[in-house]
Structure 1
Amino acid sequence: MLKFTESGLEGVKAELSWLDDLMESKGLVRAGQWDYERVTYDRKFSTIEGTFYLRIQGIAAEGDVGSGRAVIQLMSPLLGKHYYPHGVEYGETEEFPIQVVTKSKALIQDISDLLKTVQM
């Protein structure tokens, strides 16, 4: 697992529908990955080395996700590797292609910069 600490996203709060639009514009999807208290946005990277996912999670600081009216507090982004049929693994020994790490850092920075304009 690669945890992007000090990404500028930790603790940032934003309204759910705005956050959904922002994440989608950057290629991260929420789809069915939510419950009433949390959300998960994923960006898939397919490379010759395998399939990797940038994951940005958040918890509902106000409201609930199911109602579509919530303020989400973001957590540190993670990078994991997908293993068929088990799913995404976040083991400490995973190795990540430099191009995936570089692209992930750039996306996180873009998202962080945009969130600074609307922080709650």
Structure 2
Amino acid sequence: MKITNTELEDVLIDLKPLDHVMEQANFVRASQWDYERVTYDYKIGSPEKNITYYIRVQGYAVEGDVDRGDAVIKLLTPIIGKHYYPHGIEYGEEENFPTSTVDRAVTLLQNAKENIQPFMK
């Protein structure tokens, strides 16, 4: 499910400050990148058996290279997904997400956006 109206979509930012800000907000990039794209995930546990939610912020390099660390990243609309063990994560609009989880996602993304603002291009 897309999380709209976050004001993160289409933001341009250098990779290094983006990595720092997202790490401070507890979003993990880990191995979620290639030369042109980055993905940051925030894991939210659930009382439901074998269910975990993920807030995902993705972006792609409009110039430079992620591997070299000199990329300028354009962010996409954040999404929230539901992980079904052992099958994987579903991001579809037909998924149902608890209101509390969506509200938490919006708050986390607003905080990340506030921290990103000083570095926006």
Q: Is the 8 A contact 2:17 2:119 kept in 1?
A: no
Q: Deviations over 1:1-41 (max 9, x none)?
A: x2112210011011111111111111100000001010000
Deviates more, 1:91-100 or 1:10-19: 91-100
Give the aligned partner of residue 51 of structure 1. Answer: 52
Listed as ranges, the gaps of 5+ residues in structure 1 are none
Give the aligned partner of residue 114 of structure 1. Answer: 115
3-state SS in 1 of match to 2:60? strand
Deviates more, 1:39-48 or 1:90-99: 90-99
Deviates more, 1:42-51 or 1:52-61: 42-51
Q: CA deviation at 1:91?
A: 2.1
1:94 aligns with 2:95: yes
TM-score by length of 2: 0.93
1:9 aligns with 2:8: yes
Runs of 4+ residues deviating >3 angstroms:
none
* Greater strand proportion: 1
1:81 aligns with 2:82: yes
Listed as ranges, the gaps of 5+ residues in structure 2 are none
Deviates more, 1:38-47 or 1:95-104: 95-104
Q: Deviations over 1:34-86 (max 9, x none)?
A: 01010000000011132000000000011010111111110000000001222
Deviates more, 1:70-79 or 1:2-11: 2-11
Give the aligned partner of residue 18 of structure 1. Answer: 17
TM-score by length of 1: 0.94
Q: Give distance in 1, aligned partners of 2:28 and 2:87.
A: 20
Aligned-residue Cα RMSD (Å) equals 1.0
Give the aligned partner of residue 28 of structure 1. Answer: 27
Q: Give distance in 1, aligned partners of 2:113 and 2:107.
A: 10
Q: Which amino acid in structure 2 is aligned with residue 113 of structure 1?
A: E
Q: Give distance in 2, aligned partners of 1:87 and 1:20.
A: 25
